[in-house]
A and B are shown apart, each in its own frame.
Chain A
Amino acid sequence: MWIPENKYGFLISMRKDKRRQYILSDFKLLAQGIKASKSMGELSIPEKLKKAYNEYDKKYLITGGSAAFIYHTYQFPLKEEIEIFPKDYGFWSFFNDIEIYPILKEREFREKVVIDGLFVARPEKIILEGLRQGSITSILDSVSILVSEKGLEFLEWEKLKKYAREYGVIKELGAILEIIDNELKHEYGRSFIPQNFINALFADIKEKGRLRQYPKNILVEDKTYSAIGDRWRLKLYLPAYVVKKPVEDIAPLTLKVI
Chain B
Amino acid sequence: MEDLKKIQDLASAQSLKPVVIGGYAVRAYTRTRIRYTKDIDLALPRREESTKLRGILARLGYSITEKPYGLSGYRKVRGVAIVVNTIIDDVWAEEKEIKSFYPVGISIKANVSSIEDLLILKSRVWRERDIIDLCLLLLESFNSINVERLKQRLRSKDFYQGFQNSLKRLLNLIGKKKFHLVWEDFMGRKIEKGEEEELWKKLNELNKLVKSICND
Query: Interface of A with B (CB < 8 Å)?
Result: 44, 65, 73-79, 135-138, 140, 149-150, 216-220, 239, 241, 245, 248-250, 252-253, 258
A220, B35: Cβ atoms under 8 Å? no
Cα A245 to Cα B76 with chains together (Å): 18
What per-residue 1/0 map shows which CB atoms of B179-201 lie under 8 Å from chain A? Answer: 10110011110000000000000
Does B131 lie at the interface of the complex (its beta carbon under 8 Å from any beta carbon of A)?
yes
Closest to A139 in B: B185
Q: Name the one of B36, B85, B185 contacting A76, with C-beta atoms under 8 angstroms.
A: B36
Q: How far is the CB of B4 from chain A (nearest CB, A)?
A: 15
Name B182's contact: one of A65, A74, A78, A219 (CB within 8 Å): A219
- A109 to B181, alpha carbons, bound, how many Å? 31
The CA-CA distance from A138 to B184 in the complex, in Å, is: 12
Contact of A76 with B102 in the complex, beta carbons under 8 Å: yes
Given contacts A77-B35, A136-B186, 16 further A-B contacts (CB under 8 A): A44-B103, A76-B35, A135-B181, A135-B182, A135-B185, A136-B128, A136-B185, A137-B35, A216-B181, A217-B178, A217-B182, A217-B185, A220-B128, A239-B127, A249-B81, A252-B74
Known contacts A78-B33, A248-B72; A219 and B81 CB within 8 A of each other: no
Asked if B83 is at the interface (CB within 8 A of a chain A CB), the reply is: yes
Contact with A along B98-131 (1 / 0, CB 8 A): 0001110000000000000000000000111101
A253 to B186, CA, bound (A): 26
- Interchain CB contact (< 8 A) of A258 among B35, B74, B179, B187: B74
**Contact yes or no, B128 A74, CB < 8 A:** no
Q: A77 contacts which chain B residues (CB < 8 A)? A: 35, 102
- Residues on B with C-beta less than 8 A from A73 are 38, 80-81
User: What distance in Å separates the Cβ of A25 from its nearest Cβ neighbour in chain B?
Assistant: 26
Contact in complex: A74, B74 (CB < 8 Å): no
Docked complex: B1-60 residues within 8 A CB-CB of A: 33-39
Is the CB–CB distance between B188 and A78 below 8 Å? Answer: yes
